[in-house]
Amino acid sequence: MEIGLCADLHVGLNQQQVQSLQMLVLSTTELEAMLREEEMDNPFFELRESSVIEQQAAWLDSSRRPRTTLAAEDETLRQLAAPEDDALRNHLWAQIDWDAHTPDEQRLLQILLECLDEQGMLTDSAQELAKSTGYAVHMVEWALEVLRGLEPAGVAAESVGHCLMLQLARQGEQDRAKLDAVRNCLEDLARGRFGVVAQKCGLQPAQARDLLRRVKLLDPNPTAAFQNQQSRYILPDVIAEQNEDGWTIEINDKWMGSVGLSDYYCRMAHQSDDPQLREYAVKKIAHAKFVISCVEKRRSTLERVVRCIVQKQEGYLTGQGTLQPFSIRDIAHQLDMHESTVGRAIRGKYLQCRRGCFALSRLLTAVAGESGSKTVGKAEVLERMRHMIQQEDKKNPMSDETICAVLTAQGVRISRRTVAKYREMMGIAGMFQRRVV
């Protein structure tokens, strides 16, 4: 009998632990929905609306913060909408490894994303974009290469012909004459003027005919599936503000009210002489207390994890530095917490600060290598690689093996495969494609 009781208790504790961890994963809006459902199922659990006094206190607290202009409020809304201001930009945004780029490069990529038209095209040339954005032409060209390396193939093209050319190149076509024919002679190609295309681009008429067959299999509007989508806004789970005393971390869940036990139903159960009702009440009250403790534990865990991240990435969040190497393992070690708990705490959560709205997972960056006793982050390695490739001899460009050897000589331990991965991530072609004859 005692063994069975212990087994039941053990199973019960395990089930509660699972429920507690599941609650930790939920975003604020998902948590509110779960608590509403609990309130419907358990009469002893109550999700109380914020009182008038609490709302006034929140308003007074907000009034003490620095005033913002309407333009600043519009900017805040824009940040909350990013990276989900529409389906296409959300899709492209998610593919960019923002940690790999400097703040200046990030701003340029964001500007170009905003410049995309409804078809996902950038009809202005690099020179025109450079003039309108204030960036150097080579920087704009680099940013365009990054965007054009994203999915779907053909995005950020200047024209339909250019869009089809990018798709053909993505399929492995390297013949410059054929690529130029698709980009510059699309109308002649579509009308079957194979002789004209051959003469303009240095092809044989049979090659032009075969090229048309391949072009017909491409998609002139690859972003059609992302069009006519409504904007979606992010509700940040945590708000971080910097003041004279440091950082204030606020879990953004006050809007949904507080949790507690229902005084009415608890009093009714206490006054009842019905043993079945009292037994029912004991079970429901115990579960309500468990849910309340889970909510408080979730809040405490999330606050500790976010504070740890903010302290480490303070330079980045204030716009005065880049992301530092910091991983889930580092947080777990500092907080004496299991890695899986940290992972659940940051999953799907967003942080709002003066610089913008960030997914917590984007504020963590893997260690790319080591330089002596110093840990080197991915952003720093990418910057070193980009500088090396910019300064290389264009007639004899560096191979991935050479770049790996140079980094190793600088004290950065990194594999050739990682070098190739990072190079492709930056949208930089291989050695043979970069060679200028």
Apex 324 CA angle, 428 and 334, nearest 5: 140
The answer, as to whether pTM is greater than 0.75, is no
For 247, the enclosing helix (H) or strand (E) is strand 246-251
Kindly tell me the sign of the dihedral angle through the C-alpha atoms of 337, 338, 340, 341. negative
Cβ neighbours for 132, distance < 8 A, ≥ 6 positions apart: 124
**All structural domains of the chain with their residue ranges:** 16-55+235-363, 86-230, 367-434
Q: Divide the 437 residues of the chain into consecutive groups of 10 and give the mean pLDDT of each group.
A: 40 63 84 89 83 45 42 46 59 83 85 84 86 86 91 89 90 88 87 87 88 87 71 77 88 81 87 87 91 91 94 87 81 90 88 86 67 58 85 88 86 83 82 80
Cβ density class 348-358: b for 16+ within 10 Å, e for less: ebbbbbeebbb
Q: Which residues on adjacent β-strands are paired with residue 258?
A: 48
Task: Output the pLDDT for position 86.
Answer: 61
Q: What does the pLDDT look like over 146-175, one tens digit per residue?
A: 999 888 888 999 889 999 999 988 888 888
pLDDT of residue 67: 39
Q: What is the structure's pLDDT at 420?
A: 86
Report the CATH superfamily, name and number, of domain 367-434. Homeodomain-like (1.10.10.60)
